[in-house]
Structure formats: C-alpha cells, structure tokens
Amino acid sequence: MNKLALVTGGTRGIGAEISRHLKAAGRVVVASYAGNDAAAAAFAEETGIAVKKFDAGSFEACETAVAEITAEFGTIEILVNNAGITRDGTLPKMSRDMWDAVIDTNLGSCFNLCKLTFDGMRAAKFGRIVNIGSINGQAGQYGQVNYAAAKSGIHGFTKALAQEGARFGITCNAIAPGYVDTDMVRAVPPDVLAKIIARIPVGRLGHADDIARGVLFLTADNADFVTGSTLSINGGQHMY
Ligand code: CAA
C-alpha cells in the first residue's frame, strides 16, 4: 500500500484535497508547488505531507525534482498531473505570453512528468497516472482559448499514453472537473460565475473532494482495467 504518489499543484485547491485523500488511503505523498511558499508551509504543517517547490512547466526543473524525489522517497508509481493556471482573456486581448504560460504549465507539465516517471513505473510493472483536464477542455469556454486548448490536449495525451502504458501495468486516465470552489474559480467575475452556476443541474459548485474521490478510484491498486478514460465530475453541466 505504501506506494509513492506525486501530486503537482498539490498544496492548494483541488490538488491539496487529492494529496490528503491519497495520504489517507495509505500512499506516501509528495505535493509539488510552484510559487506560494506560505500556503505550502501551512499545508505541510497541517498534513505532514512532504512538499517540493519546482516549476512543473519546465522540463529541466522536473528532471531535477524527479531525481531528488526518487533518491529520497523511491520510485514514483502514482502521478497526478494537477498543476494548472489560467490566463483568461478573449483572443484579441490574449498575448503570446498568456498562451505560452498556460500551455507550458497545464499541458507541458504532463509531458515532462509522465516522461520522467514512465521508466520507473515500467520497471515496477505498476503505474497510475491521472491527468486533471477540465470541462472547458471538453466544451470550450469564452475567454479561454489557451486553457481550453491545453486541457483538450490533456485529454488526447491521456488516451495516447494509455495505449503505450497498458502492457506495462501503467494506467493513464483523465478527470474533467467542472467548476469547483477554489481560488481559481473564485477569480471569475461574480456576474459570469453566477451565470455558470445557473447552468449546473446539481445547482452548486463542486467541492475539491468531489474530484479527489475520483482520483482515489483511478489510482487504486485494483484499477488496472480502467485506462484511457475521462471521468467527468461536473454536477451535470456537460454530459460528454
Ligand atoms: N458568451 C458570449 N459572449 C460573452 C461571454 C460568453 N460566455 N462572456 C462574455 N461575453 C461578451 C460580453 O457580453 C461582452 O459583450 P459586449 O462587448 O457586446 O458587451 C464581450 O463578450 C466582452 O466581455 P467582457 O467585457 O467580459 O470582456 P473582458 O475581456 O473584460 O473579459 C473574460 C472576458 C476574461 C473572458 C471574462 O468574461 C471572464 O473572466 N470570463 C470567465 C472565463 C471563465 O469561465 N474562466 C474559467 C476559469 S475557472 C477554470 O478554468 C477552472 C475549470 O477548469 C473549470
């Protein structure tokens, strides 16, 4: 049961809840973060979960981090690519930097960390990869061509890697959360958010643990027949 899990963006929001759930399920967890030292320190203090600061969008930073984590804790057998940012704006107002930042962090991080952990999982004959996509990668969202492209890319990436990993005991699945009550969603203008919530049949924003429970299902030791799937957890907002 004591398999090692790396959760990117794992100290805040949905990622923090994923980290907590994996630890409660008996996993050894390392939660990565990129910027907010105070939140990471408070999270580590509260949970006893190890935290590691690196930019998941940088291949070099991931290379160093994976080497250090492996040396300290062992093989990463469970990988949750949760790190994500938004840089919303309509296309005319979107700069190339806003595009690059979202593609690198949200999609590039999946490539970086899957590539750097795949060999270890293959040697262990066990791997569980969960990539956190989004309803907005499935349905699109006004003001998010960058984010929708990155998240949609995650869904394709997941299905391709699932085919490569299957014969090595490595599963690769995606979760597509809807609008979940986190700092990221609270940053949406209130009038826009009110309209979005009005379109959620369940009638509320998601909670981070609604997503974390999905990660537990997909990373279970006996979940080896579930691969290449996308689990939509969105209160019925988009049935896909
Ligand atoms: N559909 C159609 N038209 C829309 C629209 C929509 N969804 N939203 C805005 N518009 C229209 C406006 O009515 C306005 O029209 P007029 O000029 O005729 O009045 C025009 O577009 C410009 O709108 P804004 O003045 O709001 O433009 P802006 O550039 O200031 O802001 C925006 C645009 C950044 C996209 C802002 O509306 C916004 O932040 N929207 C929310 C985007 C969103 O949902 N992001 C999700 C973040 S959470 C997340 O991503 C997590 C996850 O996975 C779910």
CA dihedral 75, 19, 41, 150 (to 10 degrees): 90
pLDDT at site 225: 98
* Average pLDDT of the residues in 65-71: 98
* Average pLDDT of the residues in 67-71: 98
- Classify the C-alpha dihedral 198-200-158-183 as positive or negative: positive
Q: Is 136 in the pocket of ligand 1 (CB under 6 A)?
A: yes
Fold assignment, 4-232: Rossmann fold (3.40.50)
> Ligand 1, atom 54: nearest CA belongs to which residue?
179
Q: Is 134 in the pocket of ligand 1 (CB under 6 A)?
A: yes
Q: How far is the CA of 139 from the centre of ligand 1 (A)?
A: 15
Model confidence pLDDT, tens digit, residues 90-128: 999 999 999 999 999 999 999 999 999 999 999 999 999
* Average pLDDT of the residues in 75-80: 98
* Average pLDDT of the residues in 226-236: 98
pLDDT at site 240: 74
CB 216 within 8 A of CB 192: no
Longest dimension (CA), the chain: 51
CB 210 within 8 A of CB 13: no
Q: How far is the CA of 101 from the centre of ligand 1 (A)?
A: 19
- Classify the C-alpha dihedral 177-77-43-108 as positive or negative: negative
pLDDT score of 197 more than 60: yes
Q: How far is the CA of 140 from the centre of ligand 1 (A)?
A: 12
Q: Is 180 in the pocket of ligand 1 (CB under 6 A)?
A: no
Q: Is 194 in the pocket of ligand 1 (CB under 6 A)?
A: no
| Residue 33 among the catalytic residues | no
pLDDT at site 42: 97
Q: How many CA atoms lie within 13 A of 133 on its CB side?
A: 30
> Ligand 1, atom 34: nearest CA belongs to which residue?
89
142, 147, 179, 240: the active-site residue: 147
Q: How many CA atoms lie within 13 A of 33 on its CB side?
A: 22
Question: In the chain, where are the structural domains located?
Answer: 4-232
pLDDT score of 1 more than 90: no
Model confidence pLDDT, tens digit, residues 144-185: 999 999 999 999 999 999 999 999 999 999 999 999 999 999
Q: Which DSSP string do the residues of 134-181 spell out, in sequence order? A: -HHHHH--TT-HHHHHHHHHHHHHHHHHHHHHGGGTEEEEEEEE--BS
N residues, the chain? 240
Model confidence pLDDT, tens digit, residues 122-141: 999 999 999 999 999 999 99
Q: Is 17 in the pocket of ligand 1 (CB under 6 A)?
A: no
